[in-house]
Amino acid sequence: MSDPTRDQPLGHAHEADGIEEYDNQLPLWWVGLFVGTVIFGIVYAVDYHFISHRSQVKEYDAEMAAAPKAPEASVAVGAITPDMIAAGKEIFAANCVACHGADMHGGIGPNLTDSTWIHGGTYPEIVHTVTFGVPEKGMITWGPILGPEKIAQVAAFVHSSGGGQ
């Protein structure tokens, strides 16, 4: 038998364009879903904050700790040849004299012919300094500009110019 309380219009309160609203009970599955999600939300929040003690900050820290570290920047260097020094002299004249001076005694950049080094005076150290630069101090990062071959040459020239260690 049909329920006489079903499908009774609410009255004109919610009428629009002649369409009215019934005042039926919500379906059980809907109410169940609604109550279920509310309970789940409460349980989840209690677990998240007070039982498992999870947080976005902790997850971020854990991911950062697990992430692979960037490899230590380094460059491979070969042996210095006289040809490299000759080629490096021209590269130096074209790119470096503005700051280190034509005589390499310094200006904006430091003297490259004495035995005092900020970043080390061995050949690999000079290659490293020229490749990666010291941007915060005004020494250009030459790696992307000159490329490894020209840097090997200009560093060979610098190394052979008196201060090399």
SS (H, E, C) the chain: CCCCCCCCECCHHHCECCECCECCCCCHHHHHHHHHHHHHHHHHHHHHHHHCCCCHHHHHHHHHHHCCCCCCCCCCCCCCCHHHHHHHHHHHHHHCHHHHCCCCCCCCCCCCCCCCCCCCCCHHHHHHHHHHCEHHHCECCCHHHHHHHHHHHHHHHHHCCCCCC
Site for ligand HEC (CB under 6 A): which residue of 33, 39, 43, 108?
Answer: 108
- Closest to ligand HEC by CB, 87 vs 139, is 139
Of the candidate spans 7-15, 36-44, 47-55, 102-110, the one that interacts with ligand HEC by CB under 6 A turns out to be: 102-110
Site for ligand HEC (CB under 6 A): which residue of 6, 49, 54, 137?
Answer: 137
Of the candidate spans 6-14, 51-59, 76-84, 133-141, the one that interacts with ligand HEC by CB under 6 A turns out to be: 133-141
156 in contact with ligand HEC (CB under 6 A): no
User: Which residues contact ligand HEC by CB under 6 A?
Assistant: 92, 95-96, 98-100, 108-110, 112, 117-119, 126, 129-130, 134, 137-140, 142, 154, 158
